[in-house]
Structure 1
Amino acid sequence: MSVLFTDVLLWAPAQPSGMLGPTDLLVTGDVVGAVGERARELAPPDARVVRGGGHHVLVPGLVNAHFHSPANHLKGAFRSRPLETFMLYESPADPALRPTPREAYLRTALGAMEMLRTGTTSVQDDAFLMPAPDPETIDAVLQAYADTGIRATVALDQPELPDSAKLPFLDGLDASAAAALAAPAPAAAAELLAAYDHLVRTWHGTHGDRLRAAVSISAPQRVSPEYFGALDDLSRRHDLPLFAHVLETRVQRALSVPGTGQDRFAGRSLVKYTADLGFLSDRVNVIHAVWVDDEDLDLIAAAGAVVAHNPVSNLRLGSGVMPFRALRDRGIRIALGVDEAICDDTVNTWGVVKAAGLVHNVSGLDAEEWPTPAEVLDALWEGGAAAMRQTGRIGRVEVGAQADLVLLDLHAPAFTPFNDLRGQLVYCENGGSVRMTVVAGRVVAQDGRVVSVDETALLAEARELHAARLPALQRTWAAADALLPAYDAVVRRAARTDVGMNRWIG
Structure 2
Amino acid sequence: MTHPELSAENPPSVLFTDVLVYDATAPAAVIGPTDVLVTGQRIAAVGPALDGTAPEGTRIVPGHGHHMLAPGLINAHFHSPANHLKGMLPSRPLEVFMLYESPADEALRPSPREAYLRTMLAALEMLRGGTTSVQDDAFVMPTPEPDVIDAIMSAYADAGIRATVALDQPEIPEAEKLPFLAEIAGPELAEVIHGPAPMDRADLLDRYAHLFSTWHGAAGGRLRGAVSVSAPQRVGVEYFAALADLGERHDVPMFVHMLETKVQRVLAGEQPRFAGRSLVRYTADLGLLRERTNVIHAVWVDSADLDLIAEAGATVAHNPVSNLRLGSGIMPFREIRRRGIPIGLGVDEAICNDAVDMWSVVRATGLVHNVTGLDSDLWPSAAEVLDCLWAGGARAMGQAQELGAVAVGRLADLVLIDLHATAFTPLNDVRGQLVYCESGDSVTLTMVDGRVVAEGGRVTTVDETALLAEARELFAARRPALRAAHTAADRFRPAYQEMVRRAAQRDVGMNRWAGGSA
Q: Same fold (TM over 0.5)?
A: yes
Tell me, what secondary structure is at the counterpart of 1:255?
A: helix
Counterpart of 1:493 (choices 498, 502, 506) is 502
**Residues in 1 aligned to 2:47 and 2:185: alpha-carbon distance in whole angstroms:** 68
TM-score (norm 1): 0.99
Aligned counterpart for 2:247 among listed residues 218, 226, 235: 235
Equivalent residue letter for 2:314: A
Identity %, equivalent residues: 67
Instruction: List per-residue Cα deviations over 1:165-191 (Å, max 9, x = no partner).
Output: 100113243101222211211110011
Does 1:29 pair with 2:56?
A: no
Residue 421 of structure 2 corresponds to residue 412 of structure 1: yes
Q: Match of 1:468, SS?
A: helix
Q: Is the 8 A contact 2:184 2:498 kept in 1?
A: no
Q: Which amino acid letter does the alignment assign opposite residue 141 of structure 2?
A: M
Q: Which of these residues, 246, 256, 264, is aligned with residue 258 of structure 2?
A: 246
Aligned to 2:164: 153
Choose the corresponding residue for 2:108, options 80, 85, 97: 97
Q: Assess if the C-alpha contact under 8 Å between 1:253 and 1:269 holds in 2.
A: yes
Q: Which 4+ residue blocks in structure 1 deviate beyond 4 angstroms? A: none
Summarize the alignment of residues 35-434 of structure 1 with structure 2, pairs less than 5 Å apart.
Answer: 35-37=46-48, 39-170=50-181, 171-257=183-269, 260=270, 262-434=271-443
The one-letter code matched in structure 2 to 1:115 is M
In the alignment, the residues of structure 1 paired with residue 506 and residue 280 of structure 2 have an alpha-carbon distance, to the nearest angstrom, of: 19
* Cα offsets for 1:176-220 (capped at 9, x unmatched): 122221121111001100000000010001111000000000000
Which deviations, in whole Å up to 9, do the C-alpha atoms of 1:47-96 show, x marking residues without a partner?
11111000000000000000000000001000000000000000000011
SS state of the match for residue 164, structure 2?
Answer: strand
SS of the equivalent of 2:268 reads coil
Q: CA RMSD in A?
A: 0.7
Q: Distance in 1 between matches of 2:346 and 2:288?
A: 23
Q: Is the 8 A contact 1:324 1:360 kept in 2?
A: yes
**Partner residue in 1 for 2:491:** 482
**Does the 8 A contact of 2:40 with 2:449 survive in 1?**
yes
Q: Indicate the residue corresponding to 2:17 in structure 1.
A: 6
Q: What TM-score comes out, normalization by structure 2 length?
A: 0.96
- Distance apart, 1:240 and its partner CA: 1.2
Map Cα deviations across residues 467-498 of structure 1 (whole Å, 9 max, x no partner).
Answer: 11000000000000011011111101000111
Cα distance in 2 between the residues matched to 1:187 and 1:368: 49
Whether the aligned pair in 2 keeps the contact of 1:12 and 1:19 (CA below 8 Å) is yes
Encode CA deviations 1:6-55: one digit per residue, 9 max, x unaligned: 00000111110001000001110110011113632221231111110000
The one of 10, 15, 20 equivalent to 2:31 is 20
Amino acid of the structure 2 residue aligned with 1:124: Q
Letter in 1 for 2:197: A
- Aligned equivalents of 1:234, 1:240: Cα separation in 2: 9
Determine helix, strand or coil for the equivalent of 2:33: strand
